[in-house]
Structure 1
Amino acid sequence: MRPVAPGARPDQSKGQLSGIAVPLGLLGFLGVQFLLGMAINLFVQLSPSGAVMTEMMGNGLLVGIHMMFGMILVAGGVLGVATALPNGRQATACAVVALVGILTAGLGGVAFLMGGQSNGASYLMAVGFLVAVGGYIAEIVAVR
């Protein structure tokens, strides 16, 4: 019988860190995405045209990086669901909720750029962000 680490349950596998590595990494990416979004909100003047590519090219790197991080988060969210499957239904459900939050925030972002920076679209991004963060925190708790 192998010795058990202090505070660990005997049934915990050695690879527990691998069970929380993806949601922890995605929480970090969400934090960077939040800071990029706030920088755009505070320091970038967006045109009311609603042309997404024009905004990405015309407003320099910040909008483009923010959009690329969003795409990375969607891919990471799908990966997060796939890696949560072996950790049970509760962890998988939390990962799915987080992915829905990421998609919601992304839709809010597209609506924000295409719809003249509406307050509703900005609120949708904020709600999606919080749902994603809550989903990943809940997944980490479920895995532990």
Structure 2
Amino acid sequence: MGSKWKVIICVTFILIILGLPIKAHAHGVVIEYTSNISDIEIEITAKYDTGEPMDGAQVVVYAPDDPSTPWLTGVCDEKGHFTFTPDTSKPGIWDVQIRQAGHGGIIHIPVGEDGVATSGSSGGDYSVLQIVLMSVCVIWGLVGTALYLSSRKIARKRA
């Protein structure tokens, strides 16, 4: 088989592989919290990145003074909501872990003696730096592959 056909088959295979994952079957988790300044109660909202609520997800809350022992455990309601009131005598970062069927996430909530920050998110989006870095890596890989294939072609012509 000629080298021309090998390149065509290789490019076709790569295009097929890149075209197959049109829809991913796995999904991420987005966790957000809200709190009123006057009220210390924190409401957690957990949903998949598709927007579907994490109905019945397990919730574990860890206090800042003992991050290895659960301070509170519970379950999200049918809308993916879970509400708790942290102990303000334990200021610091409270960790809330939410898991369901192998999917999950954790959110860090700053709690001071005067209350809780008003809202926050687990940050499911990529930062600009991450997007730029991923783009550079993809371009680097494509250029490297092209240079490798062209060097093999030049080496064959010399031989």
TM-score, normalising length: structure 1: 0.29
Higher strand share: 2
TM-score, normalising length: structure 2: 0.28
Higher helix share: 1
Considering Cα pairs closer than 8 Å and 6+ residues apart, tell me whether 1 or 2 has the greater RCO.
Answer: 1
